[in-house]
């Protein structure tokens, strides 16, 4: 028998739930994180507080965001593992193209290969440069923001309409003299038959080791 009832409650409520995992968060925010990959963790925490009255720790939201990005964009490690197959496909579908992939030396024979750097140039891009572009080459790179970092290098020129014409690119671990020599040697191999040592004007931001590499690999070139 109920003798009396108090409608006002003064007892506190625990807004933390240990059953709220990063996997559970991904299921509820999959579509939102796919539409807005850069969603802030503060916004994720506010969403669950407003809709479920649950306080989610920052680290849990951070792990959920990483899982969602991997589900939507794929795994970086699995993508790097497909580079050999990608190179074979390039050579099969684009005869005359150049694909150069290098790994670090393995201390144990049965260890999986570790990516070091690669260079890609499609045959049609080379033909376009030799037949319709000026003898002008711009070389630059930007740092990759993915899990493994690295630097994306690209070679561009100017076509007959004064538009940028990219025709070679690659990925290296860092900007240094050895990597610049690797990249420019591959570029020289691609262009040597067409330019026959004719002078080419290079434009760059004169990164460390780049000027020396250009002078040695393309001795008759100009560098600005």
Give mean pLDDT in consecutive 10-residue pieces for the chain, a chain of 224 residues. 76 68 85 83 88 86 85 80 91 92 83 89 90 87 85 90 89 90 91 73 81 83 68
Distant-in-sequence, close-in-space partners of 41: CB < 8 Å, separation ≥ 6: 58, 61, 62, 65
The whole-number pLDDT of residue 15 equals 62
The whole-number pLDDT of residue 197 equals 64
Q: What is the spatial distance between Cα 166 and Cα 150, in angstroms, rounded to a whole number?
A: 20
Q: Outline where DSSP puts E strands in the chain.
A: 98-103, 115-121, 136-143, 151-158, 164-172, 201-203, 222-223
The whole-number pLDDT of residue 122 equals 93
Q: What is the spatial distance between Cα 164 and Cα 127, in angstroms, rounded to a whole number?
A: 15
Reduced to 3 states, what is the DSSP secondary structure of residue 1? coil
Reduced to 3 states, what is the DSSP secondary structure of residue 14? coil
Reduced to 3 states, what is the DSSP secondary structure of residue 42? helix
Query: For residues 72 and 34, is the Cβ–Cβ distance under 8 A?
Result: yes
- CA 220, distance to chain mean position in Å, is 33
Distant-in-sequence, close-in-space partners of 1: CB < 8 Å, separation ≥ 6: none
Cross-strand pairs, 155? 139, 168
Query: For residues 151 and 208, is the Cβ–Cβ distance under 8 A?
Result: no
Cross-strand pairs, 136? 201
Query: What are the domain boundaries of the chain?
Result: 22-72, 79-223
């Amino acid at each position: 028998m109920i003798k009396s009832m108090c409608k006002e409650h003064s007892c506190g409520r625990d807004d933390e739930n240990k059953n709220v995992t990063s996997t559970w968060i991904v299921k509820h925010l999959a579509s939102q994180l796919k539409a807005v990959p850069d969603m802030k963790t503060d916004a994720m925490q506010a969403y669950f507080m407003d809709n479920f009255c649950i306080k989610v720790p920052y680290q849990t939201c951070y792990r959920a965001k990483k899982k969602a990005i991997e589900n939507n964009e794929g795994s970086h490690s699995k993508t790097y593992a497909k580079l050999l197959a990608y190179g074979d496909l390039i050579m099969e579908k684009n005869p005359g193209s150049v694909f150069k992939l290098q790994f670090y030396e393995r201390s144990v024979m049965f260890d999986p290969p570790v990516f070091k750097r690669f260079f890609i140039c499609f045959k049609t891009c080379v033909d376009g440069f030799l037949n319709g572009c000026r003898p002008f080459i711009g070389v630059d790179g930007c740092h990759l923001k993915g899990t493994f970092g690295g630097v994306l290098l690209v070679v561009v020129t100017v076509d007959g309409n004064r538009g940028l014409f990219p025709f070679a690119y690659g990925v290296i671990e860092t900007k240094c003299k050895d990597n610049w020599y690797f990249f420019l040697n591959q570029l020289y191999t691609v262009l040597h038959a067409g330019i026959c040592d004719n002078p080419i004007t290079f434009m760059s931001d004169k990164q460390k080791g780049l000027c020396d590499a250009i002078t040695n690999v393309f001795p008759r070139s100009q560098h600005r």
